[in-house]
C-alpha cells in the first residue's frame, strides 16, 4: 500500500553513541567445599541486610533524603563494614528508582488503554477505522466486554495513583517471577527444596563497587593481576578469615578470556572495577562478573561514517536481513540472512541475538564498510491489547522481540569491531522498500524478499538518499519540460523524504479521454441528442 497519504515527519539518521560501561564474566572453577560454604554464608548475611534496608527505603518513599541515607549506612556498617554498607545502600536506591520508573510507565500504559477504549466506545458499533486510528467495535458483544475492561483498567490506575504520589513501590528481592513459581511448583517442574535453593541464591548479596586509587581498584572484592580472588568478610564472620585484615582468599585463581588486556590495564593502574559473585543453582556453578565505566568516546560524524557506504540491516521475527550499499545508495553484492530463534527463556533469546549479531559483524567487517544502519525500534508503549486489538500474533512478537537489547548489544559489539552504528527512523521502510526495490532487485536466479528490500531502504535512509525511486517518463517524451514527474522531491529540498499529499490530475503529458482540446463541452453534447440535464458524462474523443 502506498504511503502517499501519510503525514508522519521522518527524523534524520543519527550515530548511536558508544557503550558507556563494560561487563565481562568468568567462571570460578575448582572451588573447595569450604570456599562455597563461606560464599553462601557471606551472601546470605549481606542479603538479609539488603532486604531490611530495602524495606526501610521503600517506607521512606519520596521523603527520603541524604540524611536518611547516611543513617541507613551507619546502621548497616555495624553488621558488615563501611564499604559493604555503601554497596548495599547504593544497590537499594537503584532498585527503588528502577521500580518507581516501572510503576510510572505502567500507569502511562493503563491511561493510554483507557483513552483508547473510551474513544472506541464513543463510536458507533461497526464503524470502520482509518489506517492509523481504529474505528468502533465490531459487535455489541465486544462493545459490552470492553466496557467491563474499561472499569478494570480504571480501578487499577486509581489504586496506583496514591502509591505514585507517596513513592510507594512493590519490589521483590529475588524476582517476582520466582516468587510466583512457589505456588506453581508442579507446572514449573520443581520440588520445594529445589525452589528454595534458587530463592536463596537469587536473594544473596555479593557485589561491591570499585574505588579508583585503591589497591587493584576494589577493596571489598579484590582480584589481583595474577587472578587471586579475595573478599573482605563482614564483622560477624571475621572468624572465617584465612588471610590478614579479615579477608578470605579463594583457592582457585580466575582469568577473563574476554577483554583480558583491558581489565589488566585497569587493575594494574588501580582504576575502579566493580565485581559481583553469584551462583547458578541449576548448573551448580559459581561466576564472577567484572564491570567498569569506559571513558566517553567521541562519536564518528555521520558524514564520515557513511563516506564509503553502509550495511543496511532489517530486524525481523526470526532473522536479520542485511545488504551492503555503496555511497551512492546502490546495492552491492548479494544480500545476507542471519537466522535466530526467539523462543524459550530470556537468556536463550539473548544468546540467539548475540550469535546472530556476531555473524553479522564478521560479515560487515569483511565487506569493508565502516557503518551499520538499523531501525530505531521501540515497542515499549505499543504492546497493549487496546492498541493492536485481536492481532495477537503481532502482540506476541513485539512482546518477545528484544528491540532495546538488540540495539544496545549491537552498539557494544560494533564498537569492539571498530564499526559505527547508525539509527534511522523506521517509518515506511518496509512499505517503500517492497514498493520501489523488491521487484527491480529480483533476477532470474534470485528472488528478493520484502525484508531484503527493507534493508536496502534502511541503508539508503542512513546514507541520506531517498528511498522512493524515480518514475520513468512517458515513451513519447523523454524530457521533463512539462514539470517535475518523479516519485520523490530532489535531495536539495527540505523534507524530501517525507510523504506528500496526492496531486490530482495527470502526472504525464498524455491526456486522459475526455480532456483533450477537441473534446467539446461534455455537459452539452451527446450522440443521442437528449437534453443536457439528462445526459451521461461519456467522452466523445477516441
Residue 533: per-residue pLDDT: 41
Q: What is the mean pLDDT of residues 389-399?
A: 62
Q: Are 128 and 242 in contact (CB under 8 A)?
A: no
Residue 198: per-residue pLDDT: 94
Q: What percent of the chain is modeled with pLDDT above 70? A: 79
Instruction: Give the residue with greater pLDDT, 512 vs 424.
Output: 424
**pLDDT tens readout for residues 101-137:** 999 999 998 998 899 899 999 999 988 877 667 888 8
Question: What is the Cα–Cα distance from 462 to 370, expressed in whole angstroms?
Answer: 13
Residue 531: per-residue pLDDT: 42
**Burial readout 479-499 (b: 16 or more C-beta within 10 A, e: otherwise):** eeeeeeeebbbeeeeeebbbb
Q: What is the mean pLDDT of residues 523-540?
A: 40
Whether the pLDDT of residue 427 is over 70: the answer is yes
Whether the pLDDT of residue 3 is over 50: the answer is no
Q: What is the mean pLDDT of residues 385-408?
A: 64
Confidence grade of residue 351 (pLDDT, cut at 50, 70, 90): confident
Q: Are 335 and 388 in contact (CB under 8 A)?
A: no
Q: Which residue has the cell 548495599?
A: 88
Question: What is the Cα–Cα distance from 206 to 220, expressed in whole angstroms?
Answer: 10
Of 437, 240, 155, the closest CA to residue 323 belongs to 437
Confidence grade of residue 382 (pLDDT, cut at 50, 70, 90): low
- How far the first Cα of the chain sits from its last, in Å, is 32
Rg (CA), the chain: 31
* Exposure of 28 in the CB half-sphere (CA atoms within 13 A): 27
Q: Are 509 and 476 in contact (CB under 8 A)?
A: yes
Whether the pLDDT of residue 396 is over 50: the answer is yes
Whether the pLDDT of residue 329 is over 70: the answer is yes
Helix (H, G, I), strand (E, B) or coil at 93: helix
Q: What is the mean pLDDT of residues 452-467?
A: 92
Q: Are 276 and 430 in contact (CB under 8 A)?
A: no
Whether the pLDDT of residue 357 is over 80: the answer is yes
Given 3-state DSSP classes, what are the helix, strand and coil percentages for the chain, each rounded to the nearest 5?
45, 15, 45
**pLDDT tens readout for residues 46-61:** 999 999 999 999 998 8
12: region left, alpha or beta (phi > 0 left; psi from -120 to 50 alpha)? beta
Confidence grade of residue 456 (pLDDT, cut at 50, 70, 90): very high
Identify the H or E element spanning 346: helix 346-367
Helix (H, G, I), strand (E, B) or coil at 381: coil
Q: Which residue has the cell 558507556?
A: 20
Q: Which residue has the cell 512517458?
A: 474
Residue 370: per-residue pLDDT: 83
Confidence grade of residue 388 (pLDDT, cut at 50, 70, 90): low
Whether the pLDDT of residue 19 is over 90: the answer is no
Q: Which residue has the cell 530463534?
A: 341
Q: E strands within 111-264?
A: 207-208, 221-223, 229-232, 247-249
Residue 392: per-residue pLDDT: 67
Q: What percent of the chain is modeled with pLDDT above 90? A: 47
Confidence grade of residue 535 (pLDDT, cut at 50, 70, 90): very low
Question: What is the Cα–Cα distance from 391 to 206, expressed in whole angstroms?
Answer: 44
**pLDDT tens readout for residues 219-271:** 999 999 999 999 999 999 999 999 998 999 998 899 998 889 999 999 999 99
**pLDDT tens readout for residues 155-190:** 999 999 999 998 889 899 998 889 999 998 998 889
**113: which 3 cell numbers?**
488503554
Residue 506: per-residue pLDDT: 47
Other CB atoms within a 10 A radius of the CB of residue 37 amount to 12
Question: What is the Cα–Cα distance from 91 to 53, expressed in whole angstroms?
Answer: 10
Q: What is the mean pLDDT of residues 469-488?
A: 54
Whether the pLDDT of residue 317 is over 90: the answer is no
Residue 481: per-residue pLDDT: 52
**Which of 167-181, 338-352, 369-383, 493-507 reaches the highest mean pLDDT?**
167-181
**pLDDT tens readout for residues 25-84:** 999 998 999 999 999 999 999 999 999 999 999 998 888 888 999 999 999 999 999 999
DSSP labels, 127-155: ----SSS--S-SSHHHHHHHHHHHHHHHH
Long-range contacts of 56-59 (CB under 8 A, 24+ apart): 57/92, 57/93, 57/96, 58/96, 58/168, 58/169, 58/171
Residue 522: per-residue pLDDT: 42
Amino acid at each position: 500500500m502506498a504511503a502517499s497519504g501519510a503525514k508522519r515527519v521522518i527524523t534524520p539518521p543519527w550515530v548511536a553513541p558508544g557503550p558507556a560501561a563494560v561487563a565481562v564474566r568468568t567462571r570460578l572453577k575448582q572451588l573447595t567445599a569450604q570456599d562455597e560454604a563461606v560464599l553462601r554464608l557471606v551472601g546470605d548475611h549481606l542479603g538479609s541486610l539488603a532486604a531490611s534496608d530495602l524495606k526501610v527505603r521503600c517506607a521512606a518513599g519520596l521523603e527520603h533524603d541524604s540524611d536518611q541515607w547516611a543513617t541507613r549506612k551507619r546502621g548497616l556498617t555495624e553488621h558488615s563494614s563501611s564499604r559493604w554498607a555503601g554497596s548495599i545502600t547504593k544497590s537499594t536506591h537503584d532498585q527503588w528508582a528502577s521500580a518507581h520508573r516501572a510503576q510510572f510507565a505502567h500507569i502511562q500504559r493503563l491511561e493510554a488503554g483507557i483513552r483508547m477504549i473510551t474513544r472506541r466506545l464513543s463510536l458507533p458499533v461497526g464503524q470502520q477505522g482509518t489506517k492509523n486510528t481504529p474505528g468502533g467495535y465490531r459487535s455489541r458483544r465486544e462493545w459490552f466486554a470492553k466496557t467491563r475492561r474499561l472499569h478494570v483498567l480504571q480501578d487499577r490506575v486509581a489504586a496506583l495513583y496514591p502509591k505514585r504520589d507517596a513513592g510507594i513501590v512493590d519490589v521483590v528481592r529475588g524476582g517476582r517471577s520466582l516468587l510466583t513459581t512457589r505456588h506453581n511448583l508442579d507446572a514449573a517442574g520443581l520440588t520445594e527444596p529445589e525452589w528454595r535453593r534458587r530463592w536463596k541464591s537469587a536473594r544473596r548479596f555479593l557485589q561491591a563497587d570499585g574505588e579508583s586509587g585503591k589497591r587493584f581498584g576494589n577493596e571489598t572484592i579484590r582480584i589481583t593481576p595474577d587472578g587471586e580472588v579475595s573478599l573482605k568478610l563482614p564483622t560477624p564472620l571475621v572468624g572465617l578469615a584465612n588471610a590478614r585484615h579479615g579477608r578470605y582468599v579463594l583457592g582457585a585463581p580466575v582469568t577473563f578470556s574476554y577483554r583480558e588486556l583491558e581489565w589488566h590495564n585497569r587493575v594494574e593502574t588501580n582504576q575502579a572495577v566493580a565485581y559481583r559473585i553469584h551462583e547458578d543453582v541449576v548448573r551448580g556453578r559459581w561466576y564472577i562478573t567484572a564491570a567498569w565505566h569506559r571513558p566517553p568516546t567521541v562519536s564518528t560524524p555521520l558524514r564520515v561514517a557513511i563516506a564509503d557506504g553502509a550495511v543496511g540491516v532489517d530486524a525481523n521475527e526470526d532473522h536479520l536481513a542485511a545488504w551492503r550499499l555503496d555511497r551512492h545508495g546502490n546495492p552491492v553484492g548479494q544480500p545476507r540472512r542471519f537466522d535466530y530463534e526467539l523462543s524459550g527463556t530470556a537468556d536463550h533469546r539473548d544468546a540467539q541475538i548475540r550469535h546472530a549479531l556476531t555473524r553479522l559483524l564478521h560479515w560487515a567487517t569483511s565487506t569493508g564498510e565502516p557503518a551499520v544502519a538499523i531501525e530505531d525500534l521501540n515497542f515499549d508503549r505499543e504492546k497493549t491489547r487496546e492498541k493492536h486489538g485481536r492481532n495477537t500474533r503481532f502482540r506476541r512478537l513485539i512482546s518477545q522481540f528484544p528491540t532495546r537489547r538488540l540495539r544496545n548489544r549491537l552498539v557494544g559489539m560494533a564498537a569492539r569491531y571498530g564499526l559505527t552504528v547508525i539509527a534511522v527512523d523506521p517509518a515506511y521502510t518496509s512499505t517503500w522498500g517492497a514498493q520501489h526495490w523488491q521487484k527491480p532487485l529480483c533476477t532470474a536466479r534470485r528472488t528478493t524478499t520484502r525484508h531484503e528490500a527493507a534493508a536496502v531502504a534502511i541503508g539508503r535512509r542512513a546514507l541520506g538518499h531517498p528511498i522512493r525511486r524515480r518514475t520513468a517518463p512517458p515513451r513519447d517524451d523523454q524530457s521533463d519540460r512539462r514539470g517535475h514527474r518523479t516519485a520523490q522531491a530532489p535531495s536539495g529540498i527540505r523534507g524530501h523524504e517525507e510523504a506528500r499529499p496526492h496531486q490530482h490530475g495527470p502526472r504525464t503529458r498524455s491526456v486522459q479521454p475526455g480532456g483533450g482540446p477537441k473534446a467539446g463541452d461534455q455537459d452539452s453534447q451527446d450522440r443521442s441528442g437528449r437534453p443536457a440535464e439528462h445526459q451521461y458524462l461519456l467522452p466523445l474523443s477516441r
